[in-house]
């Protein structure tokens, strides 16, 4: 391969892949034992959404709202911003999403669960949530840090955004669900761009999550 073929337009990246992944390790250490609590919360989300009812869905949306605020400040603002000053500009996005989720949790209509949950669009939601809570942290096994550098649902943005899209795709109220999906989608696209620039194969994860979630959101079945 020649030099010119290797040349890639990643000029805007400020940090290395090693530093990026090690942030999760530092984050887990700093918040220990919060990763365990977050995993338990994630387990609760899985149970609640395997057989969703309107009340359960609304409780989940309220819970996710809290986590969006927490991740916005504790991860983006306090940790990610130490290596990427642009991360601070994403904090308002996380706060807006939290406010919208609270609003959704308070309005009885949004709790409506989609019909035909056995059809594939209905399975996307639980699939994304299970991936975000259980499988996504395991991707850390392929890295220098091992599981201590796992991206844990509820503490870090990608699995939170994936689980949120999964939860929203269960809603039978498609328009509000799509509006609420905007922020997680934007975040996951930013994350995919960052990971592509870092040359990480994991860049496909947020991208696939967005495609799957929107395929389900747009499908009325």
> Judged by CB, which is closer to another protein: 79, or 114?
79
Q: How many residues bind another protein (CB under 8 A)?
A: 21
Contacting residue, 16, 138, 179, 215, with another protein by CB under 8 A: 16
Check: CB of residue 59 under 8 Å from CB of residue 105: yes
> Judged by CB, which is closer to another protein: 83, or 203?
83
Alpha carbon separation from 83 to 14, 16, 78 (Å, rounded) = 7, 10, 10
Check: CB of residue 164 under 8 Å from CB of residue 64: yes
Stretch that binds another protein, among 2-10, 42-50, 164-172, 201-209 (CB under 8 A): 2-10
Residues 26-65 as x/- pattern, contact with another protein by CB under 8 A: x---------------------------------------
Alpha helices in the chain (DSSP H): 3-6, 17-31, 34-50, 54-70, 91-106, 120-130, 136-138, 157-168, 174-197, 204-218
Half-sphere exposure of 158 (CA within 13 A, CB side): 27
Q: Does 11 bind another protein (CB under 8 A)?
A: yes
> Judged by CB, which is closer to another protein: 149, or 159?
149
Site for another protein in 64-83 (CB under 8 A): 79, 82-83
Q: Does 3 bind another protein (CB under 8 A)?
A: yes
SS3 state of residue 81: helix
Which residues have a Cβ under 8 Å from the Cβ of 111 and sit 6 or more positions away?
53, 54, 55, 57, 58, 171
Q: Does 23 bind another protein (CB under 8 A)?
A: yes
Q: Does 15 bind another protein (CB under 8 A)?
A: yes
Binding site for another protein (CB under 8 A): 1-4, 6-7, 11, 13-16, 18-19, 22-23, 26, 79, 82-85
């Amino acid at each position: 391969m020649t030099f010119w073929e290797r040349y890639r337009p990643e000029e805007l990246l400020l940090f290395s892949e090693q530093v990026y992944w090690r942030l999760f390790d530092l984050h887990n250490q700093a918040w220990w034992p919060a990763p365990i609590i977050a995993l338990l919360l994630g387990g609760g989300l899985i149970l609640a959404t395997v057989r969703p009812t309107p009340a359960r869905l609304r409780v989940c949306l309220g819970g996710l709202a809290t986590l969006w605020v927490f991740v916005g400040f504790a991860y983006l603002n306090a940790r990610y911003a130490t290596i990427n000053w642009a991360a601070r500009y994403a904090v308002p996005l996380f706060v807006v999403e939290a406010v919208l989720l609270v609003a959704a949790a308070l309005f009885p209509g949004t709790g409506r669960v989609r019909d035909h949950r056995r059809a594939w669009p209905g399975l996307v939601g639980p699939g994304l949530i299970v991936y975000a809570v259980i499988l996504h942290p395991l991707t850390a096994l392929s890295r220098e840090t091992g599981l201590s550098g796992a991206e844990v649902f509820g503490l870090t943005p990608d699995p939170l955004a994936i689980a949120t899209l999964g939860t929203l795709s269960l809603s039978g109220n498609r328009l509000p669900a799509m509006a609420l999906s905007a922020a997680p989608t934007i975040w996951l696209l930013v994350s995919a761009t960052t990971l592509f620039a870092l040359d990480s194969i994991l860049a496909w994860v947020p991208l696939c999550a967005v495609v799957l979630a929107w395929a389900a959101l747009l499908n009325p079945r």
